[in-house]
Chains A and B, each alone.
Chain A
Amino acid sequence: MSTKLSLKSKTKKIGNDVKEKFSKEHMKESFENKKEEVAVKTVYKRDNIKHFFQTANSNVFASMCLMGLGQLMYKQIVKGLIYLSFEILSIVYFVMYGGKAIYNFFTLGLITGDPWLEIAGDNSVVMMLMGILTWFIVVLTIVMYYTNIKDVYNTQIRVLKGGMPEKIGESLAQLADKKFYKTILALPLIGVLIFNVLPIIFMILIAFTDYGGDIVPPELISWVGLENFEKLATLGEIAPTFLKILSWNLLWAFSSTFINYALGLGLAILLNKKCVKGKAIWRGFPILAYAIPGFITLIGFKFMFSVGGPINQIISDAGGDVISFLGIDAKWTARAIGLVVNAWISVPTIMLLTTGILSNMNTDLYEAAEIDGASKRKQFFKITLPFVIFSTTPVLISQFIGNFNNFGIFYFLRGGLTLDGYFLASDTDLLINWLYNLSIDNNYYAIGAAISLVIFIITSAVSLGVYVRSDAYKKEDTFR
């Protein structure tokens, strides 16, 4: 009885709270606060440098001269000391290492090493990496300098509005509450910068050097501008190879993505039919193909299609001639086998994904469509496909990128061939395989980096272009 009463009173309290929240007075007050907030923001928006200098007080200028000084003047001791320490550390770093690292970044070394004479020499690769790292620190210092000024300026506004300068405890409390996202994302952000962004920038920069061939440490590397891209576009041997591989790569990426998606969806729809018995078993078979490591499958397929493999064994036992499915002359046969093998590996992923999506579909839509007289075909194209594509657009894009950069398929099936008319490549190689041949097998790192930059531009342009035009992006909140 008492519980019932307690529940009743609780419900009443919540009702009152809601009433209060949406009462005229409260709404008015909230509106006034909002207005004030907007006014402050407008000041910020208009705060061009002139306005800033007109309104900033001496404490702000103090922080501009010495990081943290303004905060100290506002008696924000801990915060001030943190900024001050950062500035001191930055100065020490740049005097002792950073300046030299930036200088080395431009020169990429001046002394060629000579192990016989025990001259250590400069390592251009390390210098480039350290240079990039120092540029990161430069950016970090600028960001810290900006936040230092912004912070003290905010404090000035806060004080002008009658408040007190924020204490360190309050700031820390905010980091654990309102600004918790900053706390939690700081470490991953640093990790991403060091382990992802730095190597990517390094790779991009390599494309603008002469690294590779004879120019490998202890030899010194030099900046060569756009020379590698010029080679890709104009050099007699490279340009035709690049264009041939690029066109095949695009064809491969689009066709393999389409095949995998169509087969995966088809299989999912088929296994979703009520008339199919033992669905779990049928679904298990493709998963088996998915569960086996890709390269094992590829080696298996290579053996099956090899001249001494079981397929040829059957052909010769039946009185036919042995077929070199993956040999030198087998351009389109090998490409077709590549598509089949890739489908074998990738279709289960799409099937599993679309099975999940299909199980979430509203069956009322189909019933309505049936009543309206829509054919099964129409139902598929008007209901099923848009719904599945809407849900899987990001996956579709990642499939496309994955297929565009599918290194394993032709490396395992037909690696090691360098055909006539191709520069260190074969007619089934994708750009990623060519990149590997050039940079790993032949040490042409710079040209390899230039190719990878081209790959990056193509894949990012296609993915972004497709994604921003897709319903998944445009109607994210409306299509449910």
Chain B
Amino acid sequence: MTLDVFKTAQTTPSALAGGVFGVPENSAPAIEVLGLTHDFGPTRVLDSISFAVPRGTIAGIVGENGAGKSTLFNILSGLLQPARGSLRLREKDYAPRSYRHALEQGVSRVFQEQALIPALPVYENLLLGHERAFERGGFRRHGAMIATARRIVDAAELDVDVTGETGSYDFSVRQSLEIARACLFPSLVLGISDPVVLLDEPTAALAREEEAAFFRLVRRLRHHATILFVSHRLTEVLAISDSIHVLKDGRLVASRLPAEVDEDQLHRLMVGRARGVDYYSQQQGPIPVDASGVSSRPVLAAEGLSLAGAFEDISFSVQPGEIVGIGGLLNSGKTRLGRAVAGLVTPASGTIRIDGDPVASIRPESMVALGVGYVPAERLTEGVIPALSIAWNVGLASGDRLTTRAGFWRKQAESSLATRAIQDLRIRADGPARAVETLSGGNQQKVVIARWAARQPKLLVLDNPTRGVDAGAREEIYAILRRLAAAGVAILVITDDLAELIGLSDRIFILRDRRQVAALDAAAETKPTEEALVALMLGSQASSLSASQRVS
């Protein structure tokens, strides 16, 4: 099965060499991507990507987290300059220096976060940043602005009063406004025909019925603009796209017409990864929990945890020495669940038990005192203080041990603690006084783990522990986590990386739409497949497929 996936991946590039496929000859490409390559440090995030999108069509771009979709969009919208490769816009060279520069050439982007100002009337938001075009003698001609905004709203067939306050419309309407602005503003105001619009997960926050309205809007707007959109929801990608491009690990592994593929095939193209990739340490297997460990009471027991808008009725437990993985899509609620266990967000209801005792006050300092450590996903803002030394960063959580009775800080003890961590976790640094900002991402992450390892924690919660970490350090971090587990630490790993989720975990929980949808055994001999997990995360009909795959 894996072989099959691999073969598809290898054969497709030739199929897309022509770029335009199955689309009428007369539609020239609106945008062409030619051999785009980009690296972040040692990691290649885009690897010679080439494709073209014909004018007036919709291109869906799919891939796992970290496949390179955002980087591609960042380059197209001028936020990032590629290391190699080039772009062509309407058959002319296109090398945007900045977002503004891209905008001036008719390439705009609708971000996941809304960029409208709620307190302003709709028409001002629709023309935001271009008010000067409506000024005469220093006075703003509101009448002209309103008229122009009406043309945008009418062309998009939206039922919106442009003089109304933007904040009074609900989320989906505001999003429609943003998309309408992106598609229509260039042609109606700037006089650019054939603008290109990049939509970043446009439906992630929409309810199902709002999605239908969104589809209709995008189909209408296709006459005004060429649209590229990124989405995790494969059904909608299939329903709306004229062509679909699949990214995986920075490569374009397939370009397909929606008629040629179904959802399952897309899944497979997205996640099919050659087994035996160095960090996929399945063969190593989890450290078996000894007989006494299994029967002992769990270190962490979560019972019916709920927080409105974040997660609902979640129950699970982690035994000493066990690594439990939590997977799910971006807004599945898994990150907030991890933060709740770390005491950073307080669940509205439910109980967290540590060693069997319910935690009365769920706050970070009390969780730390109970032996819980948290390694956040945002390393540079929440994990380490980059300007300070390794010793300072490692000792930060051990104030109880590093303070004398009189309240003095034991710098010597802190320094030797850090020296030991540098040796034990093999942090590449010449000493504990070295500033953390001079270390590589992987070594910074080891500093965060060392902070907790120094306390001999009972439970370690990690959110995407190897994001932005190169392959070598990744393996070392996995080895560290296994070692901690072998020493009896209960470990909870929340991750977007499927290989990591499967390879590292003894058990896996999947969250979808804030709810717990599956619990899977993931011992070495019963590892689930990536496809099966994705199907559970997406909650599509593909779950039947995954069952058959697990049998094979």
**Are A and B bound to each other?**
no
Interface, chain A (partner B; CB < 8 A): none
Interface, chain B (partner A; CB < 8 A): none
